[in-house]
Amino acid sequence: MTLTTTATPSAPTNKLGFTKQDYVGSKSTLCAGCGHDSITAQIINAAFESNIEGYRVAKYSGIGCSSKTPAYFLNQGWGFNSVHGRMPSIATGASLANRNLINIGVSGDGDSMSIGMGQFVHAVRRNIPMIYIIEDNGVYGLTKGQFSATADQGSHLKNGAVNDLPPIDPCTLAIELGCGFVARCFSGNPKQLNTILKAAFAYKGTVVLDIISPCVTFNNHDASTRSYKHVKDHDFPLHDLGFIQYSEVEDVEIPAGQTEVVTFPDGSKVAIKAIHEDYDPTDRFGAMKAIHESMAKGEFLTGLLYINPTHPPLPEVLNLVDEPLASLGESQLKPSAAVLDEIMQSLM
Amino acid sequence: MTASLAALAPTGGAKTRINDFSIQVATVNGSGSQTANSVLLRAIFQMGVLVSGKNLFPSNIAGLPTWFTIRASAKGYVARKASNEILILMNPETAKEDIANADAKALVIYDEPLQLDKLRDDLTFIPVPFQKLVTASCPEPKLHKLVKNMIYVGVASRLLGVDMEEVKKAIAKQLKSKAKAVEINQNAAIAGYDWAMENLPDQDHVKVVRDNKTQGLIIVDGNEACALGALFAGVTVVGWYPITPASSLVETFIEYAEEYRKDPKTGKSTVAIVQMEDELASAGVVLSAGWAGARAMTSTSGPGISLMSEFIGMGYYVEAPGVFFNVARTGPSTGLPTRTQQADVELCAKCSHGDTQHINLYPGTMEECFQFAYDAFDLAERFQTPIFVVTDLDLGMQNWSSKPFDYPAKPYDRGKVLNQQQLAQVQDWGRYKDVDDDGICYRSLPGTPGGKGAYFTRGSGHNAYAQYSEKPEDYVATVDRLKKKFETAKSHVPGPVFRNLGSAKGVLAFGSSDPAVIEAQDLLAQSGLKTDYLRLRALPFTAEIDAFVMEKKVVYLVEQNRDGQMANLFRETYPEHATKFKSVLHYDGYAIDAKCIVDQITAFEQK
C-alpha cells in the first residue's frame, strides 16, 4: 500500500500539482477484463480532472467484487471496507463526524439491492453527502455467480437456472426516495461515465450512480460473440503501476438520443440508450416516465437522469457546526461544573 | 367504622414500622398512575426518608395492569422487598389476585366498588370512594380518570403521616410549570387527604416520621445518569433506534443536548443525533463516526445487541472506537420487554462470531452510571474498540436516590491519534504496528492533510500495514495483539468495590444486584454467617479479582439470569477454581430482592 509516485517528468499535472498516478490505488485483484476496473479507471480520471484533494477522500464499501475496488483508487484517501450491505451506515457516521470529507461509496447490485436494501433506502432518504456507486452486473460474483435482485427476468445462469423474478431498478427507486442526483452509466462508455463522475464530485448530497458493468466470469458461459480481448492502451500510463485496464467489452460512445446494442461476453445483447439532448433532468416525473418507457423497450437509459441541485444534505438538515465534529475539543464539548450543578439542583 | 378498620387502632407504638415499609400500587397502564406514584415517592423522599421506586409495567401503551412499588427504609436498603405492608388497589382486573397474593396483615386501600373486604380476614381493608371524591374535587369530567389516582396519594399520605405540604411540593415539581395541572392534582390529593382525615382512625402500624437521610440527595434513573455522563464526555455522534428500556437514555440526552450543546447565537449543534432504520445501522454509524474521530454512542437492549453483533465484531477487528449502552431486559427473543434481567453478560463479553473479547463496564449505582458513561468514551478512544456499558431496566428506568454527581474533572483521553505533524515524523507508518508493545496501535483520522497516514480499513485479514493478507502469521499476529490489548485494559477499567465483614466466604455480584446483596449480607450476618462481598465493575477481570478468587473458599455469585452467565466467565477465566463458584440466581423479570439471596446462600450452607 506504500505506493510511491513515479510520474515521468512529462506527466501532466492538475491544478493541485498532482499527476494522475497520485490518484491510483493498489493493483486490482478482480478478473481480467472486469467492467469494474473500467469504472475504477474513470474514478481516477475524474478525481484527477476535478482536482480532488486526495486526503479529504473517504472510500466506503460493503462486501463483494465491487466492494474490493476502493482499494484500487485514490490511495491518498482513507478506505473502509466494512460488512455486507452496510456500507451506507458507515458512510453516514463518518460523513457526520467530519463534514469536510469527500465520500465515495462503492457497492454492487447484491450489496445494495438485496442484503443492503434497507440501508440504501435510508441513506438516500437522509441525503448523505456521498457518491453512491452501484457496480451493477446482475450476479453475485464473489460467491460464484448466483442471481442478484437486479438480474433481468428470464436471464439464466451458467448452470441453466432461470431468473423468474422481476429486477429492482436502483435508479427509479432512488428518484422515488427523493435522491437529488440519479444517473445510470455503462462501464463500457468511459466518456459518459467520466462526465457524470465529475458532475457527481461537484454535488453536495447523495449521488446514486448505477453503472451497468458486465461480469466477465459468471456470464461467460456461452461462446462469446465478441471474441476479441485486447488491452486498451489508454492515454495515461497506469499499467506501469500494475494497473491493467482493458475491457472485454469494446468501449462505445453513444450519441445523445441514440441506442447502441452492446454484446456482452456471454453473448447477451444489451441496448444502451443515451438520453436525448432535450431531456430535462430536473423534471422528476418526466425522469420516471422516461426510465419506465425505456425499460419497457428493454433498454437501459443512460446519462444524468435526474438532478435537484438544492436538496440539503444531512449535516445541513441537522444544523451541525461548520467545524468537523471530530475536530471539536474538550473546551467546546464539555459543559462546565456550573451546568452540572444546575442539573443536580433540578433533580433534588 | 367498619370492623376491618378497627384493626387500625393504635397499638401503642411498640410494633410501629417507622420509615420501614413497602407500598404496592396496582393500576391500569396509561391511567396517569405514574405521576401519582412519583409524587408519593417524592413526598416521602422530601420527608427525609430514603425511598426507591420500581415500576412493574406491561409492554403496552394503555389498558394492561401495572404495579408500582415504593420502598422506604430507615436503614437505607433500596432493593425491591418481596413483601408489602400496604397495597393500593385501583385495577378491577387484578384486584382479586392482588388480594390473594397479599402478605398477611397488609393494609389495603382500594376503590370502594371493588368490594374486596370479604375476600380475606387477615388484611385491613380501607375502601375509598374515589369516584365520589374525584367528582367533587375536579370540575372537568374528562380529567377524572387521570386525576383519580392522585386521590390515593392524599389518602396514603394521611394514613402514613406524610406532610401535605410535601405532597403539594412534589406535585409542583413533578408537573413542572403546568400551573393548571398542578392545581387540579393538588386539589385531588387534598380531597383524598381530607377524606382520610374524617373517615380513618389514627394508626401507628406503619408510619413515616421526618428524618434527614435525603438531605442533598437527588432522585434520578440510570438512563438519565448515563445520558448526563455522555453529555459531559462530549459525545458528538449518536446513532440509535428506539427500544424499551433503552430509548429514554437517548431521549433524555436529546433534551440536554438541546439545552447545552447548541450555540445560542447560531443554533448550530455540536452533536449529530440520528434515529437510524435499525440497530444494525446504528452500530455502523457509531463505529464509522468513531473511526473518523468523533465520540460516538448508541443505546439499545438485548435484541439490538443481537442485531449489532456483526458490526461489533468488525469494530473489534478493525479497531474502531464506539460506546454501546445495553440497558438489558428479559430475553431471549422479545422476552419480557418491560422487565429486568442480567442475561446479556456473555453476549456482551464476546459479542460477534470469531474470537472476540470486549471491555464491559457494569455500573451498580447512579453515580457509576454517570461516571462510567463518561469513562467509556475515554476507554473507547484509548483502546480503539467497542465498549459496552451494561446496565438493565432496573437501573435504567427505575427511580433511585443518589448523591449528586461529582464533576468529572479528568480531561478527555483521546487515545493514540497521530496528527499531521506527528505523522510527518513517523518513519515507517503502519496502522496496526504495536509500537508501544501494549497492543494498542497508533491511528490517523480520515481527512488529515499532509499526504501521510492514509490507510485502508478492512474487516478482512490484514497485516501491520493495514494491507490485505491471508497469511497465517499475519492473522495470528493480529488476533494475538488484540488479546494483548485486552490484557492492557486490566489496568484501565474500574476495579471492584469491597464490603468485607471478614470471612473466607465470598459473595460476588455486579450491577443492579448491589442493594439486594448489601441487605442480604447484613441479614446473613445477623444470623451468624459473615461474608466478604466483591462488586465487580468491569471486564476484563483485574488483579484484585484474581486475589479474591484465590483467597476465598467459596464464592457465591449472585446474578439475575438463569444460566449463571457471569459464573461461566469466572469458571472459564479461573478453571482451577471452578468448583468454588456457587450460583445464586434470580430471573423472573422482577428486580432481585434480599430474601432470595439469603434463602439460596443459606441452602448452600446447609448442604
Q: Do B239 and A92 touch (CB under 8 A)?
A: yes
Give the pLDDT of residue A242. Answer: 26
Q: Do A79 and B449 touch (CB under 8 A)?
A: no
- With pLDDT > 70 as the criterion, what percentage of chain A qualifies? 85
Give the pLDDT of residue B2. Answer: 57
What does the DSSP assignment read for A69-124? GGGGB-TTSEEEE-STT-HHHHHHHHHHH-TT-EEEEEEEHHHHHTTTHHHHHHHH
Residue B596: what residue type?
C
Does any CB of chain B come closer than 8 Å to the CB of residue A315?
yes
Chain B residues near residue A314 by CB distance under 8 angstroms: 274
Q: Do B273 and A101 touch (CB under 8 A)?
A: no
Residue B238: closest C-alpha in chain A: A93
Q: Do B457 and A80 touch (CB under 8 A)?
A: yes
Give the pLDDT of residue A274. Answer: 79
Give the pLDDT of residue A8. Answer: 56
Does any CB of chain B come closer than 8 Å to the CB of residue A12?
no
Chain A residues near residue B277 by CB distance under 8 angstroms: 118-119, 121-122
SS3 of residue B186 by DSSP = helix
Reference A247, options A225, A222, A229, A269; nearest CA is A229
Q: Do A89 and B281 touch (CB under 8 A)?
A: yes
Cβ atoms of residues B586 and B600 within 8 Å: no
Alpha-carbon gap: A68 to the closest alpha carbon of chain B (Å): 10
Mean pLDDT of A100-111: 96
Reference B7, options B296, B202, B297; nearest CA is B202
When CB atoms are compared, the residue of B287, B289, B448 closest to A55 is B448
Instruction: Tell me which residue has cell 440536554.
Output: B256
Sequence spans of domains, chain A = 20-347
Q: Do B291 and A80 touch (CB under 8 A)?
A: yes
- 181-240 in A: which are within 8 Å (CB) of B? none
Determine which helix (DSSP H) or strand (DSSP E) holds B87, and give its type and residue range. Answer: strand B86-89
Alpha-carbon gap: B89 to the closest alpha carbon of chain A (Å): 29
pLDDT, one tens digit per residue, over A180-209 is 999 999 888 898 899 999 999 999 999 999
pLDDT, one tens digit per residue, over B378-397 is 999 999 999 999 999 999 99
Residue B520 Cα to chain centre, angstroms: 20
Reference B150, options B133, B163, B166, B165; nearest CA is B133
CA geometry: angle B27, B28, B33, nearest 5 deg: 60
- 101-130 in A: which are within 8 Å (CB) of B? 101, 118-119, 121-122, 126
Topology of the domain comprising A20-347: Rossmann fold (3.40.50)
Give the pLDDT of residue B274. Answer: 98
Residue B506: what residue type?
G
Residue A60 is given by DSSP the state E
Output phi, psi for A233, to 5 deg. -95, 100
Mean pLDDT of A125-152: 87
- How long, in residues, is chain A? 348
Q: Do A318 and B274 touch (CB under 8 A)?
A: yes
Give the pLDDT of residue A237. Answer: 24
Q: Do A334 and B296 touch (CB under 8 A)?
A: no
Question: Is there a common fold for B5-215 and B497-606?
Answer: no
Chain B residues near residue A65 by CB distance under 8 angstroms: none
Q: Do A93 and B237 touch (CB under 8 A)?
A: yes
Give the pLDDT of residue B553. Answer: 98
CATH superfamily of B5-215: Pyruvate-ferredoxin oxidoreductase, PFOR, domain III (3.40.920.10)
Residue B311: closest C-alpha in chain A: A83
Residue B384 is given by DSSP the state T
When CB atoms are compared, the residue of B219, B405, B451 closest to A55 is B451
Give the pLDDT of residue A10. Answer: 77
When CB atoms are compared, the residue of B277, B290, B293 closest to A118 is B277
- 22-61 in A: which are within 8 Å (CB) of B? 53-56, 58, 60
Question: What is the number of alpha carbons within 13 Å of residue A59 lying toward its C-beta?
Answer: 31
Alpha-carbon gap: A258 to the closest alpha carbon of chain B (Å): 41
Cβ atoms of residues B216 and B404 within 8 Å: yes
Q: Do A96 and B272 touch (CB under 8 A)?
A: yes
Q: Do B412 and A1 touch (CB under 8 A)?
A: no
Does any CB of chain B come closer than 8 Å to the CB of residue A67?
no
Sequence spans of domains, chain B = 5-215, 220-402, 417-489, 497-606
Give the pLDDT of residue A267. Answer: 62
Interface test with A, best of B173, B220, B277 (most A CBs within 10 A): B277
| Confidence bin at A224 (pLDDT 50/70/90) | very low
Comparing A121-135, A328-342, B142-156, B489-503, the range with the smallest average pLDDT is B142-156
Reference B46, options B143, B166, B137; nearest CA is B166
Q: Do A86 and B217 touch (CB under 8 A)?
A: no
Residue B294: closest C-alpha in chain A: A326
When CB atoms are compared, the residue of B232, B276, B289 closest to A335 is B232
Give the pLDDT of residue B22. Answer: 97
Which CATH class for the B497-606 domain?
alpha beta
Give the pLDDT of residue A219. Answer: 54
CB atoms within 10 A of CB B337: 18
- How long, in residues, is chain B? 607
Chain A residues near residue B278 by CB distance under 8 angstroms: 118
Q: Do A101 and B446 touch (CB under 8 A)?
A: yes
pLDDT, one tens digit per residue, over A1-59 is 444 455 556 789 999 999 999 999 999 999 888 889 999 999 999 999 999 999 999 99
Residue B170: closest C-alpha in chain A: A348
Residue A25: closest C-alpha in chain B: B456
Rounded Cα–Cα distance for residues A333 and B105 (Å): 55
Give the pLDDT of residue A340. Answer: 98
Chain A residues near residue B316 by CB distance under 8 angstroms: none
| Confidence bin at A221 (pLDDT 50/70/90) | very low
Q: Do A319 and B267 touch (CB under 8 A)?
A: yes
Rounded Cα–Cα distance for residues B436 and B548 (Å): 31
Residue A346: closest C-alpha in chain B: B218
Does any CB of chain B come closer than 8 Å to the CB of residue A90?
yes
Q: Do A82 and B294 touch (CB under 8 A)?
A: no
Give the pLDDT of residue A249. Answer: 58
pLDDT, one tens digit per residue, over A263-308 is 655 566 666 777 887 888 889 999 999 999 988 888 888 899 999 9
| Confidence bin at A143 (pLDDT 50/70/90) | confident
Chain A residues near residue B231 by CB distance under 8 angstroms: 335
When CB atoms are compared, the residue of A55, A86, A324 closest to B454 is A55
Alpha-carbon gap: A205 to the closest alpha carbon of chain B (Å): 17
- With pLDDT > 90 as the criterion, what percentage of chain A qualifies? 59
Q: Do A325 and B311 touch (CB under 8 A)?
A: no
Residue B286: closest C-alpha in chain A: A93
Chain B residues near residue A333 by CB distance under 8 angstroms: 234, 236, 261, 270, 295, 412
Determine which helix (DSSP H) or strand (DSSP E) holds A197, and give its type and residue range. Answer: helix A190-201
Per CATH, domain B220-402 is 3.90.850.10: no
Q: Do A335 and B260 touch (CB under 8 A)?
A: yes
Whole-Å CA distances, A156 to A35, A150, A159, A162: 20, 13, 8, 4
Q: Do B449 and A335 touch (CB under 8 A)?
A: no
The residues of chain B scoring below 70 in pLDDT are: 1-4
Q: How many CB pairs under 8 A join A and B?
A: 223
| Confidence bin at A234 (pLDDT 50/70/90) | very low
Helix%, strand%, coil% for chain A, nearest 5: 35, 20, 45
Instruction: Tell me which residue has cell 458528538.
Output: B236
**Whether pLDDT at A220 is above 80:** no
